[in-house]
Amino acid sequence: MRICIVTPGPVGSNPRVVKEAGALREAGHEVIVVCSRMLARVEPRDQDVLASATWKTERIDLSNLMRWRFERMRQIGMRTLFAVTRLSSFANTGFSAFTHKLIRKAISYPADLYIAHYPAALPAAAMAARQHRGLCAYDAEDFHPGDWPEDIEFDGMRRMLRAIESRYLPDCAYVTAASPGIADAYAREYLITRPTVVLNVFPRSQAPTEPASTGTVEPRPSVYWFSQTIGYNRGLECGVRAIGRARSRPHLYLRGTPAAGFVERLRAIANEHGVVDQLHILPPALPSEMERLTSLFDVGFSGEPGHTENNRVALGNKLFSYLLAGIPAAISDVDAHRAYGHLASEATRLFRVDDADNLAAVLDSLLTNPAALAAARRAAWRLGQERYNWDLEKNNLLNTIIAACRTRK
């Protein structure tokens, strides 16, 4: 088949698109990814991905400031028209400044299947599918109606999003979701067939060849967290307070691009607890290096605060990077984490949301007990090898596409 994957972001920031494109190309399909090129700091990540890509890419260049401002002006105009009329056609481009360009580019590629990632790409995939008599599909990496806090200031964005998803989702050949909680939420929200769960796991080839009893980075003991942005609403403040209260005196390593002023906030908290020298900020790394780098630390950390519905039901990529790298994780007890914790209990320790004392105790249970840490690391590595990896999980995606095509015929 000819398959066109459409996403508003750069490929270097979306490993889910990269894995999907690779699996489909490996299965013998002709694949092109329509995406964007915008931020200079993401370009090295893009080039790292593209260097080994077996599929084609069409990158919409929005790095020019004037071009981006024009798209933003278009978006603001459409947003205003939607507020007055409530017409979903205005929501398409009012929701995202990327959508207009994505529509034009996706329509220019005849394909049998168009797969949208993120709401901004859904109108583009749907319109291209209609024009070329192909199938349209949607991948929900998050529960997007639950992206924002339940505050009135976000009502306009929620209305536009629901106008888009309620218009196009019922006609999708299939919908996939990145966690069981996201799948359940979409089925309830739009009364559609429950999406197929395709977890954000990674290839075995990125894992260490064998488990190690401890991390090797110094100074240690070490607690590790990574994301594209080191910022608010990720539970990092709790992490800093916890290392100040833990008997094991762990060092907290954070990898990513700092949000403006946020690292200063963390350092102020660290100073209050006397652990400034135990907080380390690491530069972003290439996607291909992530699991290797993760394996160097003792314990992973994910402190999601559950401040939005999506934050409560999503499973972050880092959870599966921790497993594949062979390190256990201390994770907050939001809904999705609790369910995941039952499945990966040997390699996971839950702590109460925003409870630094409880997190400190959880960290100490591993970092002051070498035998427990070694056992948890072996369990994490085994789960990554035997269950939570892309080599196995990609079959959920491929089988879903095969079933959708058979239904159409």
pLDDT of residue 70: 86
Angle between helix 180-190 and helix 155-168 axes, rounded to 10 deg:
80
Proportion of the chain above pLDDT 70, given as a percent? 100
Which overall architecture, per CATH, does domain 2-201+391-408 show? 3-Layer(aba) Sandwich (3.40)
Structure tokens at 259: 């949000």
Mean pLDDT of 284-308: 94
Compute CA 229 distance to the chain's CA centroid, rounded to the nearest angstrom: 12
Any residues with CB less than 8 A from the CB of 196 and at least 6 apart, and which?
A: 174, 175, 176, 177, 183, 396, 397, 400
CA distance 405 to 392: 21
The answer to whether domain 2-201+391-408 and domain 204-386 are alike in fold is: yes
| pLDDT score of 39 more than 90 | no
Contact predicate 395/19, CB 8 Å: no
How far does the chain reach from its first CA to its final CA, in angstroms? Answer: 14
Give the start-to-end residue ranges of the domains of the chain.
2-201+391-408, 204-386
CA distance 301 to 328: 9
pLDDT of residue 38: 82
For residue 396, CA distances in Å to 208, 240, 294, 345, 401 come to 25, 38, 26, 23, 9
pLDDT of residue 114: 98
Look at residues 80, 93, 78 and name the one whose alpha carbon lies nearest to residue 123: 93
Structure tokens at 248: 């094991």
pLDDT tens digits for 324-363?
999 999 999 999 999 999 999 999 999 999 999 999 999 9
pLDDT of residue 408: 67
Coil/strand/helix, residue 107 = helix
pLDDT of residue 297: 98
> Could you write out the DSSP letters of every residue in 308-355?
SHHHHH---HHHHHHHHHT--EEEE--HHHHHHHHHTGGGEEEE-TT-
Mean pLDDT of 92-119: 94
pLDDT confidence tier of residue 104, bands split at 50, 70 and 90: very high
For residue 377, the one-letter residue type is R
| pLDDT score of 409 more than 60 | no
CA distance 184 to 309: 12
pLDDT tens digits for 106-160?
999 999 999 999 999 999 999 999 999 999 999 999 999 999 998 888 999 999 9
Angle between helix 370-386 and helix 356-367 axes, rounded to 10 deg:
90
- CATH superfamily of this structure's domain 204-386: Glycogen Phosphorylase B; (3.40.50.2000)
Coil/strand/helix, residue 10 = coil
